[in-house]
Amino acid sequence: MQVENPGETVEKIKQGEIDESLYSRQLYVLGHEAMKRMSSSNVLVVGLKGLGVEIAKNIALAGVKSLTLYDPAPVAISDLSSQFFLQPEDVGKPRADVTAPRVAELNSYVPVTVHEGGNLVDNLQQLKRYQAVVLTLTPLKEQLAIADFCHKHGIYLTITDTFGLFGYLFNDFGKNFTVGDTTGEDPVEGIVADIDDEGLVSALDETRHGLEDGDYVTFTEVKGMEGLNNSDPRKVTVKGPYTFSIGDVSGLGSYKGGGIFRQVKMPRFVDFQSLEEQLKKPELMVSDFAKFERPLQLHIGVQALHRFAEVHDGQLPRPHNESDAQEVLKIANGLAGGAEEKVELDEKIIKELSYQARGDLNPLAALFGGIVAQEVMKAVSGKFNPVHQWLYVDSLESLPTSVTRSEENCKPLGTRYDGQIAVFGKDFQEKLSNQRQFLVGAGAIGCETLKNWAMMGLGTGPRGQIVVTDMDQIERSNLNRQFLFRSKDVGKLKSDCAAAAVEAMNPELRGKIVTLRDRVGPDTENIFNEEFWEGLDGVTNALDNVDARTYVDRRCVFFRKPLLESGTLGTKGNTQVVLPHITESYSSSQDPPEKSFPMCTLKSFPNRIEHTIAWARDLFQTYFVGPPESVNMYLSQPNYIDQTLKQAGNEKQTLEHLRSFLVTDKPLTFDDCIVWARNQFESQFNNGIQQLLYNFPRDSKTSSGQPFWSGPKRAPTPSKFDGSNPTHLGFIVAAANLHAFNYGIKNPGVGKDYYRKIVENMIIPEFMPSSSVKIQADENEPDPNAERGSSFTDQDEIAKLVSSLPSPKSLAGFRLNPVEFEKDDDTNHHIDFITAASNLRAENYDIPQADRHKTKFIAGKIIPAIATTTALVTGLVALELYKLIDGKKDIEQYKNGFVNLALPFLGFSEPIRSPKGKYMGKQGEVTIDRIWDRFEVEDISLQEFLDHFSNLGLEVTMVSSGVSLLYASFYPPSKVKDRLPMKLSKLVEHISKKAIPDHQKNIIYEVTAEDQTEEDVEIPYVMVKLGK
């Protein structure tokens, strides 16, 4: 990746600044403080096969001070099974020398060098230059020597390796390691309703406080118990979902009202033991409760592998070699017998570990590459809980049963896939190469998935093919985790660049990847047609929105194709397997709806910064998007005014916007735009607040006699414009530039002093509140303005507004430019406006303000993202893909994954079976799969259709297709008579008045019917084949 000005970059790093445009999504995961600590850390990664390069990649993207790589071993062809930065022509060259420059391209802020010097163990003092060390491919004796040195000298150490479908990591972060934030969740805050004399705090309006035992909180704005305000954090004991205790409050007086509690993240201190101690008595993290005993088995098994290698010139057991496996088992039994805790070894597991020891699988490298890189980031930043101290993971369920694995089948063939063949055998490799897979999305998950597929050799065979589609272009903020892209690619299509990058990684993919730029949806079914879907073996989603996921899921269900689904949110991730006729589909479960705020809260009674940001985002729409669009419609649609007058309640507002933008506030110069912006400041942050206080004075009471301004209602204060206040002036600058953009007026390049000069020369009329203005006081009350609007009958005023508008003819060719909101362009004033407007509103209501970074996150609805979670999730997905290719039908062999790297947590569960139903047919009870089953018929007449179901024992009462109702038992006989002889396709065209597109080969019909019990039953949909 190149940066525009290396001098500027170095200067920024010197000043401790962070490139927010590059690290944007990661900053929302880690925060600025953790990023700053990371960016002052030097990290060493030892061993650069697939796992080492995955770790190096993720650490480089994360942004440490420096990354050093060590691996003098020569490149072997089998390394290409998982090491994506190696090429066949690199064979024989030192792995680190070849890899370092390619890792360096990922992030120009991170210098990547090769560790100079001999064997690390010969001179341990050289490790002192690093804050964190990661060991892979390191013999146990060397691990012990390095681990002992690191433990004594406060160097954070992680040891990790993978052996086929097995992998592990070990952490030693020393004594008294400090974790500043154990979860990464935003601190909880809420409004206090009451604090009793025993220290029991009640949250307002039975709002769940969201705290847990042992949390700490601070208080502000408490009346009566003022001693609580801004005092030391108090430990919480949860008493219920709406109450918690803060202990002794004696001597603080009696609670009189008000108060906000905020959770405080308290540091946690963790002690780590040395590797030598932990080998004897390990602290094991359980990742799969279906394999509760497995970690201890593998703990001994991995040590046995190291012992085996020590007596075989550093060589691990040969693939599927029985005598080597017996030797490993014998060593393992000896270790188990001498262990402090007696362990009963599972012979099958230990032998399988031996069979796969030389296996080198990209999915395991991706999985552990994500986990380990995050552990390194935890070590150097103190953010999130580290693994304490061992993690063992395996995916033996991925082993194939459709092919025979033997020493002959698994022996190396001198190919780039030997690391995979060692585990699965050459027959399975051939099967994998002839897959036809569809990848929907080429963003972060898409990039990692394509890289995994390239290493696995997916689609490289004679029948094989990969189709990838993504309509998006590459943006700068993508480069931090979408690692196939470089800065030279910004502005290019993601699908094209991603495909080119993985074709370079594995040239056998050339000519095997079809790239598209089309969104998968109802409007592209002519492209993604029946022929397309029928030709696929499977689909993998790499999408970031629910609607697109749901649509792809529906198509996979219709065409009965397996779907691999995954998603990430910061350090959290999940994977789901959708199997035809076996599991439920993605759409079977739904996330809770997005939280929304009551309109009266946003309009008049905000109490959180989220409220003011949502209000500012709406204001952006009201000023720069909606009215310009209305103006353009007025100028281009002849009947626009007539249509507007039919919109009861909105007509006056729409006409006022038109008059404002075409007559009263239409600017001619940039100075006019500055004047407009200053007037809007006055209207929103002074006049509007004065009006609110006129309607509800500070001392007003509710109907029950309580103070009106209490609880969630904060009494505001009008703002007096101050040109020396950066937020005040920031609003003017952003609003003026956006208003000018609407009218195509260029900014003449003026500085802030110019804006100040213009506004200082303005005369702002004094505001007089009006008694005719009505304001909704509570979300449960009807909106007084809505009532007025819906019954608005002042036709004279409407007529005056209409007559004040210039005729569209007089403005022929004139159009406004509605603003299209774009959060990631720091020069377009969009986020600047929302930040300034939100903070001015927060200033009115005395709400703590948010910086631009936080405002952008909330207003832009940004999904926090980090490369580590993405890598881990795609590794899990690829492990499930092995199972799909093998054709496994047993649901117990599949795993849905749930991860949270912050905690850390890895959990796996069996997918949920598809729901079944039944109906009573003529031949007895019939069982149906509610998701995957359907009826299929030819394009017959409606009469034949009804007879067909009657013969099955189902009396049809209603038939529909889309929004067209084709038949109902309650229709009059004359209506039914005309339709009965019509073919189903013609009937749809007749009712919908639309022709069936040429590319469409079938139509879906929904049927309501009664079975033999004369009860309504839920039956599958019907697919009518058009015979095209």
Q: Read off the pLDDT of residues 709-733 as tens digits, 9 standing for 90 and up.
A: 998 999 999 999 999 999 999 999 9
CA angle (879, 883, 885) in 5-degree steps: 110
- Note the pLDDT of residue 7: 36
- pLDDT above 90 covers a percentage of the chain that reads 86
Q: With contact defined as beta carbons under 8 Å apart, do 406 and 603 qualify?
A: no
Judged against a pLDDT cut of 80, whether residue 792 lies above it is answered with no
Average pLDDT along the chain: 93
Q: With contact defined as beta carbons under 8 Å apart, do 297 and 342 qualify?
A: no
Comparing 434-443, 636-645, 922-931, the range with the smallest average pLDDT is: 636-645
Judged against a pLDDT cut of 90, whether residue 340 lies above it is answered with no
Phi (first) and psi of residue 934, to 5 degrees: -160, 160
Q: How confident is the model at residue 494 (pLDDT cuts 50, 70, 90)?
A: very high
Q: What is the mean pLDDT of residues 865-880?
A: 98
Beta-bridge partner residues of 1022:
935, 1005
Comparing 361-375, 433-447, 577-591, 774-788, the range with the smallest average pLDDT is: 774-788
Q: What is the mean pLDDT of residues 384-396?
A: 98
The CA radius of gyration of the chain, in Å to the nearest whole number, is 33
CA distance 813 to 740: 18
- Note the pLDDT of residue 590: 79
Is 600 assigned a catalytic role? yes
- Note the pLDDT of residue 985: 94
Q: How far is CA 942 from CA 39, 378, 617, 880, in A?
A: 70, 66, 52, 44
Which of helix, strand or coil describes residue 132? strand
Q: 562-582 pLDDT, tens per residue?
A: 999 999 999 999 999 999 999
Judged against a pLDDT cut of 60, whether residue 2 lies above it is answered with no
Judged against a pLDDT cut of 60, whether residue 371 lies above it is answered with yes
Choice between 774 and 794, residue whose per-residue pLDDT is larger: 774
CA distance 771 to 759: 30
Closest C-alpha among 597, 611, 599 to residue 844? 611
Judged against a pLDDT cut of 50, whether residue 80 lies above it is answered with yes
Judged against a pLDDT cut of 60, whether residue 11 lies above it is answered with no
Q: 124-162 pLDDT, tens per residue?
A: 999 999 999 999 999 999 999 999 999 999 999 999 999
Closest C-alpha among 495, 550, 502, 499 to residue 522? 550
Judged against a pLDDT cut of 60, whether residue 660 lies above it is answered with yes
Residue 670: how many CA atoms within 13 Å on its side-chain side? 15
User: Which one of 150, 447, 600, 673 is the catalytic residue?
Assistant: 600
Written as six digits, the tokens of 140 are: 């146990």
- Note the pLDDT of residue 1: 23
Q: What domains can be seen in the chain, in order of their start residue?
A: 189-264 (2.40.30.180), 434-594+863-896 (3.40.50.720), 607-763+773-846 (1.10.10.2660), 916-1025 (3.10.290.60)
Q: What is the mean pLDDT of residues 832-855?
A: 97
- Note the pLDDT of residue 434: 98
Choice between 557 and 18, residue whose per-residue pLDDT is larger: 557
Judged against a pLDDT cut of 90, whether residue 652 lies above it is answered with no
**Pairing between strand 905-909 and 200-203?**
unpaired
Residues in the chain: 1028
Choice between 802 and 846, residue whose per-residue pLDDT is larger: 846
Q: What is the mean pLDDT of residues 241-249?
A: 96
- Note the pLDDT of residue 1009: 95
3-class DSSP string for 980-1009? CCCEHHHHHHHHHCCCCCCCCCEEEEEEEE
Q: Which residue has the tokens 């609407």?
A: 742
Instruction: Kindly state the DSSP code that residue 48 receives in the 8-state scheme.
Output: -
Query: Strand locations in 553-659, DSSP E?
Result: 563-569, 572-578
CA distance 73 to 99: 12
Judged against a pLDDT cut of 80, whether residue 277 lies above it is answered with yes
Q: How confident is the model at residue 785 (pLDDT cuts 50, 70, 90)?
A: low
Judged against a pLDDT cut of 50, whether residue 12 lies above it is answered with no
Q: What is the mean pLDDT of residues 320-349?
A: 93
Q: What is the mean pLDDT of residues 896-925?
A: 95
Packed helices 726-743 and 609-624: angle between N→C axes, nearest 10 degrees? 30
- Note the pLDDT of residue 648: 60
- pLDDT above 70 covers a percentage of the chain that reads 97
Judged against a pLDDT cut of 50, whether residue 699 lies above it is answered with yes
CA distance 677 to 554: 48
CA distance 391 to 382: 19
Find how far residue 223's CA is from the centre of its chain. Answer: 41
CA angle (621, 627, 630) in 5-degree steps: 125
CA distance 735 to 833: 6
